[in-house]
């Protein structure tokens, strides 16, 4: 039976193995080889491809060992051809990459890195987003700008609501604290937090998560919601007073400002 297996790697990374009925598989973002090999051997799988969303070592660290052991091919962004060692298949925005009966649409989503891509498998209702979109959060800006990140998030937000998001890290519980600070009256978020706590207490992953719900509770997907923006300024004051890192806040505020300035709509400010 075809399925997607979640592989815990390093401290909080996730790699993902897709396997079909013929025991053929690909792996997404193997940060280390050992847990991937263990899963492949346990399930008697044939690894055919490695898919990389971006070049950071905690997403490609297992590439060489897996390629040497299984003679599989590495698939990654053409823009990262010099940063993903051993890359065999170079892909770009709008391309399609097929694995047997399933085809992925390649979506460029720069911001975290300049060459970041997502693999959207419509037939699987699944998208692998690397470090761009997390449950209740988004990735840090290492090489891109807030505008780039916001445009990338909007691309992902436009996917079908039933799409399952497979991201690169287990950051959900900490992200939930931030989301609750700036959106304290969101009942759907409260329900999600209860579920998140239950899963983490049992040692279960909070991934995947469904895009339709995420659009209603992830603050980084709501930067063009005027009502939400009007309420967020006061909430941010509470956030800063709690002495949290301002990194996510800065990204979010800049994204909002850019979106509204470029669209010609005024950014309303609340006196505090």
Residue 59 tokens read as 């997403």
Cα gap 63→123, rounded to integer Å: 26
Out of 55, 116, 169, 181, pick the active-site residue: 169
Q: Are strands 24-28 and 46-51 parallel, antiparallel or unpaired?
A: parallel
Out of 29, 55, 80, 112, pick the active-site residue: 112
Q: At what angle do helices 187-201 and 172-182 cross, to 10 degrees?
A: 160
Cα gap 201→131, rounded to integer Å: 24
Residue 225 is a catalytic residue: no
Please report the DSSP string for 160-185 in residue order.
Answer: -TTPEEEESB--HHHHHHHHHHH-TT
Closest CA to 117 of 98, 103, 133, 102: 133
Task: Give the phi and the psi of residue 35 in degrees, each rounded to 5.
Answer: -65, -25
Residue 102 is a catalytic residue: no
Out of 29, 55, 80, 131, pick the active-site residue: 131
Residue 54 is a catalytic residue: yes
Residue 56 is a catalytic residue: yes
Which helix (H) or strand (E) covers residue 91, if one does? strand 89-91
Residue 112 is a catalytic residue: yes
Out of 56, 80, 116, 181, pick the active-site residue: 56
Cα gap 91→80, rounded to integer Å: 10
By annotation, the residues acting in catalysis are: 54, 56, 58-59, 112, 131, 169
């Amino acid at each position: 039976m075809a399925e997607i297996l979640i592989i815990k790697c390093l401290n909080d990374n996730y790699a993902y193995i897709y396997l079909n009925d013929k025991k053929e598989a690909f792996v997404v973002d193997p940060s280390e080889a050992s847990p991937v090999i263990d899963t492949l051997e346990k399930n008697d799988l044939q690894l055919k491809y490695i898919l990389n969303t971006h070049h950071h070592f905690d997403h490609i660290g297992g590439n060489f060992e897996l390629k040497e052991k299984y003679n599989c091919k590495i698939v990654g962004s053409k823009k990262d051809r010099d940063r993903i060692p051993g890359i065999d298949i170079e892909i770009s925005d709008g391309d399609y990459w097929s694995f047997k009966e399933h085809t992925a649409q390649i979506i460029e989503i720069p911001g975290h890195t300049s060459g970041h891509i997502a693999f959207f498998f419509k037939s699987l209702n699944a998208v692998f987003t690397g470090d761009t979109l997390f449950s209740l959060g988004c990735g840090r800006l290492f090489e891109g700008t807030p505008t780039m990140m916001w445009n990338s998030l909007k691309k992902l937000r436009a996917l079908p609501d039933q799409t399952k998001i497979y991201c690169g890290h287990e950051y959900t519980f900490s992200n939930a604290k931030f989301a609750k600070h700036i959106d304290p009256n969101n009942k759907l978020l409260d329900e999600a937090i209860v579920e998140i706590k239950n899963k983490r207490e049992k040692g279960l992953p909070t991934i995947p998560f469904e895009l339709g719900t995420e659009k209603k509770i992830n603050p980084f997907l709501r930067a063009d919601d005027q009502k939400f923006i009007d309420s967020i300024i006061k909430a941010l004051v509470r956030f800063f007073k709690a002495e949290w890192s301002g990194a996510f806040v800065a990204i979010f505020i800049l994204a909002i400002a850019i979106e509204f300035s470029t669209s010609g709509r005024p950014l309303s400010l609340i006196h505090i």
